[in-house]
Amino acid sequence: MKQLQRLRSLSFLALLATAALTLQAQSTGPAPAQAKAEQFTLSNGLTLIVKPDRRAPTAVHMMWVRVGAMDEVDGTSGVAHVLEHMMFKGTADVKPGEYSRRVAALGGRENAFTTMDATGYFQQIPSDKLEDVMRLEADRFAKNQWADEEFVRELEVVKEERRQRTEDVPRSMLYEQLRGVAYQASPYRRPVVGWMSDLDAMTPQDARDFYRRWYVPANAAVVVAGDVDPAAVRRLAEKHYGSLQARPVPARKPRAEPEQAGVRRLEFKAPAEQAYVGMAFKVPQLTSFEPGGDNDDALALTVLAAVLDGYSGARLDRALTQGPNRVADSVGAGNGLWGRGPQLFHLSGVPAPGKTPAEVEAALRAEVAKVARDGVTEAELQRVKTRWIASEVYKLDSVMNQARELGGAWIMGLPLDTGDRLIARLRAITGEQVKAVAAKYFGDDRLTIGVLLPLPVDPNRKPRTPATPLRH
């Protein structure tokens, strides 16, 4: 799943689950002071965010557009992602394929991504080449154009991407269907890559219409991090982005998810070595750093996920995968902290030999119920908080991560100092709050369960080899 991806490269949860550092592992000397990010708004509505970091003569330039799969309509699922591919296919002055060659000639690397919430384009280059990539990015943002034949060819690449990353991966297919059952009104029910039938029916005009509708300056932010001066970057942005035509951002209508009443279940059969259980509970997301209510609950749920599965030997691992009576070969937990749409708390497990998906489901729910009944220890709380804070500190060593964090916060409407505020708010989460959310959000009326039922695997089946290399 992880379109879910993918990114959640923006995902705070991924950091919680994988951080392997502790505060004690930090350098014995004081950390260098981090320059503050600055934000500007150009006259056409485009946002500019600049974060100086002069430790190396490099810079990251990112174009964030607040449009993703959730902004599509039924019948054109996948068009945001297809358009992301087409943005590399040229303008009147840059021919198909030339964009990437030019960035490489500058000594840089580039790519792009699409999520439910956003589309992003990035280049990492020597800092003295920043103006060159600004010129290229502004050109394609305003003047993207391509022949129908280019669209037809690239659409086949996207279809192959769907086959490789979703249709050939049973667990990915399970999670795609799980989201489709968990959500009814929310556009989060559709996959980022799109349904294959929609891709088969997609036309060049579908992509062009989506581009003209959403790629407007007031719906975009340029983020620059690295060895740069904010005033100089602002002058370059005014020069290359300031002349882009201002247009209104289309109105977005609310698509609230109706209240669920009862467990939703699905079974998915596919050739696989083992069964798999995926459980998704509807939970609130963080919308601001104001204390109280859903914001506190979203943070406490994130801490709960870390207590359950935030490090090797965490609660789920100890209780379900160890000992002679273990019920699972592997287990997992993760919370969707934030997003433009509704979020889910996931529990998952692979049954051990001789155990059933139903036993894994019951064991996972029992561990959450144990937290709801008995709470968590202060030692557990401090351990997960320390690990997370350490990961946040070391994350700042990467200029790319700094730019991603700033852009992701802008997409969600959060402030520039989101990282600092998040640390402060998480430090304040108490064991009683974790106990309370474990009791509040894990009932049947929030739950969707998907079970992968394995079919025999064909021993003669060969892995799919793409005719065209995939971009991402």
Summarised one tens digit per residue, pLDDT across range 235-250 is 999 999 999 999 999 9
Domain boundary among 240, 255, 272: 240
**Which pLDDT tens digit goes with each residue over 35-62?**
899 999 999 999 999 999 999 999 999 9
pLDDT of residue 393: 80
Q: Are residues 318 and 220 in the same domain?
A: no
DSSP letters for 340-403: SS-EEEEEEEEEPTT--HHHHHHHHHHHHHHHHHH---HHHHHHHHHHHHHHHHHHTT-HHHHH
Strand positions, DSSP E, 42-173: 47-52, 58-65, 109-114, 119-126
Spatial separation of the C-alpha atoms in residues 228 and 193, rounded to whole Å: 35
Inform me whether the pLDDT recorded for 10 exceeds 80.
no
Query: What's the structural domain count of the chain?
Result: 2
**Is there a domain that residue 146 lies in?**
yes
The answer to whether residue 247 is domain-embedded is no
In a domain, 6, yes or no: no
468 vs 202, more confident: 202
Q: 120 — phi, psi (to 5°)?
A: -135, 145
Does residue 12 lie in a domain region? no
CB atoms within 10 A of CB 106: 18
Q: Is residue 21 scored above 60 in pLDDT?
A: no
Is the pLDDT at 179 greater than 50, yes or no? Answer: yes
Q: Say if residue 233 is in the same domain as residue 268.
A: no
Active site residues: 84
pLDDT digits (tens, 9 = 90+) for 264-306: 999 999 999 999 999 999 999 999 999 999 999 999 999 999 9
The answer to whether 302 and 12 have CB atoms below 8 angstroms apart is: yes
Going by pLDDT thresholds of 50, 70 and 90, the confidence category of residue 470 is low
Same domain, 186 and 276: no
Sign of CA dihedral 319, 323, 325, 330: positive
Statement to judge: residues 86 and 207 lie in one domain: yes
Same domain, 351 and 212: no
Specify if 168 maps to a domain.
yes
Domain membership of residue 119 as a residue range: 32-240
